[in-house]
Amino acid sequence: MAGTKTNERPGTRARASHVRSSAYKAREVLDLIRGKSYAEAAEILQFSERGISEDILKVLDSAVANAEHNDSQLAEELYVSACYADEGPTLKRWRPRARGRATRIRKRTCHITVVVSRYSDAELEAIREREAAAGRSGSTQAAEARRARVAQSRARDEHDHDHEEVSVEDQAAEIVDATAASMAEAGEDYDAEQADSDQDPVVDADDATPFGPLSHAPIDDVHEAPEGYPIKGNADSMKYHQPEGRWYEQTVAEVWFATPAAAEEAGFTEAGTSADEGDAAEEEETD
C-alpha cells in the first residue's frame, strides 16, 4: 500500500516559487533541517554558509507564522515534518565563445516548500525534560528571535512610510514660516545686510544665509542638500537649478535656496533662461 504523498502530508506549509537557485542546491540545505524542531532548524539556517539558506529561512518563518495565525499553534511546539524543492523553469541564455561558437547557460529556478507540524504530547514532554536537564530552552529563544525580526521589519517599514510622507515642499514651507516668525519678532531692529556681513562678530543662523533668509550655505558635502533647501544656486553664473532640471546633478551648489521665489529675489535666474532676453528683444525691435 502506498504511503502518504509528500505534497499531501498534514501540517501547515509555506511555499516560495521561482527561487533563483537550482533544486540541487536547495535540497542539500533542506536535508539538514528535515525532522528538526523549529529552534534547531532556524539555528542551522542562520549559521549556514549557503546563500540559499536565507530563502529557506524565510519560507520556514512563513510556515511557522501561518501555523500561529491560522491554526493557533505555538512556535515552540513545531518541527519540520517535510521539506522539499521542486525544479522550476530554466532560463536559457547564450555565451559567446571562440571561433564564432556559443555555449548555453542554464539559469535554474526551484520551488521550495516547508511543512511544519506540532509534536505529540508525549514528544513535547520528553523534549521539555531534556531541555530542563540541560538548563536551556532553545525553542523559546528561537520563537522570540523570530518575533523580534518581525517587529524590526514592521518598524522599519513604518519608518520608511512616514519618511516618504514628508515632502520637500512641506519642509520648505516650514522654513518659510519659521523665518517669517523670527523676522516678525526682531521687528525694526533686524538688519539683514549687517547680519550677513563679515563684520558681524556674532556667529548665528544668519551667517549661513548669504543670499537672504531663505538661502543656506553649502555644508561639508557640497552635493548633499541641507534639509528644506532643495534648489542649487551658482554664484558665478547667477543661475539656480531645480531638482528636476537638466543640469541639476552636474552643478556644484555654491548656495542653496528653499524656493524658486527666494532665488529670484536674490537676483538668480532659472537655468535655461537668460536675464537679458527682454533687452535683446527690444534691440531687435529698435533695429
Q: What is the CATH number of the domain that holds 52?
A: 3.90.470.10
Measured at the CA of 21, the angle between CA 18 and CA 22, to 5 degrees, comes to: 105
Task: Judge whether 3 lies within some domain.
Answer: no
The verdict on 118 and 196 lying in the same domain is: no
The verdict on 174 and 260 lying in the same domain is: yes
* 28, three cell numbers: 542539500
Task: Judge whether 197 lies within some domain.
Answer: yes
- Give 92's strand partners: 106
Nearest to 262 by CA among 242, 278, 245, 279: 242
The number of folded domains in the chain is 2
The verdict on 16 and 142 lying in the same domain is: yes
Task: Judge whether 287 lies within some domain.
Answer: no
Q: Binning pLDDT at 50, 70 and 90, where does residue 151 land? A: confident
The verdict on 132 and 216 lying in the same domain is: no
The verdict on 104 and 246 lying in the same domain is: no
Task: Judge whether 221 lies within some domain.
Answer: yes
The verdict on 156 and 188 lying in the same domain is: no
State the residue range of the domain holding 59: 8-163
Task: Judge whether 103 lies within some domain.
Answer: yes
Q: Binning pLDDT at 50, 70 and 90, where does residue 89 land? A: very high
The verdict on 118 and 179 lying in the same domain is: no
146: Cβ contacts below 8 Å, ≥ 6 apart: 42, 61, 64, 75
DSSP string, the chain: -----GGG-SSEEEEEEEESS-HHHHHHHHHHHTT-BHHHHHHHHHT---THHHHHHHHHHHHHHHHHHHS---GGGEEEEEEEEEE-PPEEEEEE-GGG-EEEEEE--EEEEEEEEEPPHHHHHHHHHHHHHHT--HHHHHHHHHHHHHHHHHHHHHHHHHHHHS-HHHHHHHHHHHHHHHHHHHGGG--HHHHHSTT--S--GGGG-TTSTTEE---SSTTSPPTT--EEEETTTTEEE-TTSTTTTTPPPSEEESSHHHHHHTT-EETTS-TTHHHHHHHHHH-
The verdict on 133 and 245 lying in the same domain is: no
Task: Judge whether 1 lies within some domain.
Answer: no
The verdict on 189 and 231 lying in the same domain is: yes
User: Domain end: 132, 163, 194, which one?
Assistant: 163
Q: State mean pLDDT over 120-147.
A: 74
Q: Please, what's the b/e burial string for 101-121 (b: 16 or more CB within 10 A of its CB; e: otherwise)?
A: eeeeeeebbbbbbbbbbbbee
Compute φ and ψ for 47, nearest 5 degrees. -100, 5
Q: State mean pLDDT over 255-259.
A: 83
Task: Judge whether 124 lies within some domain.
Answer: yes
The verdict on 149 and 227 lying in the same domain is: no
Q: Binning pLDDT at 50, 70 and 90, where does residue 186 land? A: low
Q: What is the mean pLDDT of the chain?
A: 78
Question: 14 or 210, which is more confident?
Answer: 14
User: Domain end: 144, 163, 182, which one?
Assistant: 163
Give the span between the Cα atoms of 100 and 117, in whole angstroms. Answer: 55
Greatest Cα pair distance, the chain, in angstroms, is: 105
User: Domain end: 111, 137, 163, which one?
Assistant: 163
pLDDT, tens digit (0-9, with 9 covering 90-100), for 275-284: 444 444 555 5
Above 70 in pLDDT, residue 2?
Answer: no
The verdict on 138 and 78 lying in the same domain is: yes
The verdict on 147 and 43 lying in the same domain is: yes
pLDDT, tens digit (0-9, with 9 covering 90-100), for 19-49: 999 999 999 999 999 999 999 999 999 999 9
Question: 136 or 86, which is more confident?
Answer: 86
Say how many CA atoms lie within 13 Å of 198 toward its Cβ.
Answer: 0
Above 90 in pLDDT, residue 61?
Answer: yes
Kindly give the pairing relationship between strand 255-257 and strand 231-234. antiparallel
